[in-house]
Structure 1
Amino acid sequence: MSQFEFTSRSLADTDRLGQQIATVAQPGDVLALVGTLGAGKTRLVQAIATALGNSPEAVTSPTFVLVNEYTAGRLAVFHFDVYRLKDDDEFLELGAEEYFDRDGITLIEWGDRVEHLLPEWASVVTIELTDADERQVVVMGDLAARL
């Protein structure tokens, strides 16, 4: 399995990573974003969606609505936040499997909670706080091979 590592020392670094991911993103990509609260999952989604051509103001965390769609860019972005889901059925009831087959990129915050429900081609993006201003990002899977 391919692996890509990146160290972010600023919001600008995270934005650059998001631009890099957006550049190689393909329809059908599924990314499980994993990390503690405040690690930068939503910021990375904002960077990816913005780099794909969406307004930065339009990209917000779907913590309470569970899924947001951003369709103004080169690829549609389907942004899930599964932190508050009680079980697998809730995730499936959102129509997650249908999103995987749509012509866009699916980004799932707290993706480790539903990783066993994701397609085999899904990539995992782990963001770990290593310092107050530093994050270590590890991408595993198909996306890593393109970065």
Structure 2
Amino acid sequence: MCDDELKNYISNSVEETLEIGKKLARKLRGDEIILLSGNLGTGKTLITKGIVSSLGFDENEVNSPSFTLMNVYETEKIRVYHIDLWRLDDVNEIVSSISLEEIILEPAIIIIEWAEKLGTFGFGARKIIEIKIEGEGAEPRRIIVKNHDV
């Protein structure tokens, strides 16, 4: 049985989006997979910066791995994998390019931008948090967080 929790946030600025990420990080146990979706430029990496900085890493060192595919951050508390699938389209290419099947077995937080590209990829018994960001340009962002407790 699944106990899903849904929360909505409104962000009017970069700073508010970072703070929402920090707030979300305070509830993490260290074994979650965070699936981020939203159009280009909506704030997926900002949410990630907030999460990672709240765990003890310098937010200025957190950047989008659009071309490297993955950044790994070692904090005092946990390892964080930050994956960006923006430039990949084939699920098999995605899984093999970053060894996703191996990474999901590690005791780490895994943050995946453009997660919708994974289709129906299974994450086993890991706790999944879906974050969808809506809004364009200078518009406020609506950030929808859905926790899936397995």
TM-score (structure 2 length as normaliser): 0.87
Question: Greater share of helix residues, 1 or 2?
Answer: 1
Q: 1:12 to 1:118 in 2, by over 3 A?
A: farther
Task: Give per-residue Cα distances to partners, 1:17-61, cap 9 Å, x unaligned.
Answer: 111111111222001100001100011111111111111222111
RMSD value, Cα:
1.7
Q: Which residue of 2 aligns with 1:48?
A: 51
Is residue 2:63 matched to residue 1:60? yes
The answer to whether the 8 A contact 1:28-1:100 is kept is no
SS in 1 for 2:26: helix
Aligned residue identity for 2:88:
L
Is residue 2:109 matched to residue 1:105? yes
Task: Give per-residue Cα distances to partners, 1:34-91, cap 9 Å, x unaligned.
Answer: 0001100011111111111111222111111101100024221100000111311112
| Gap runs ≥5 in structure 2 | none
Which residue of 27, 31, 36 corresponds with 1:24?
A: 27
Q: 1:42 to 1:118 in 2, by over 3 A?
A: farther
Q: Which residue of 2 aligns with 1:142?
A: 148
CA distance in 1, matches of 2:76, 2:47: 16
Aligned residue identity for 1:95:
S
CA distance in 2, matches of 1:23, 1:73: 14
Q: Which residue of 2 aligns with 1:88?
A: 91
CA distance in 1, matches of 2:66, 2:88: 10
Q: 1:10 to 1:76 in 2, by over 3 A?
A: same
| Gap runs ≥5 in structure 1 | none
Report how many aligned residue pairs link the two structures. 143
Identical counterparts, % of pairs? 28
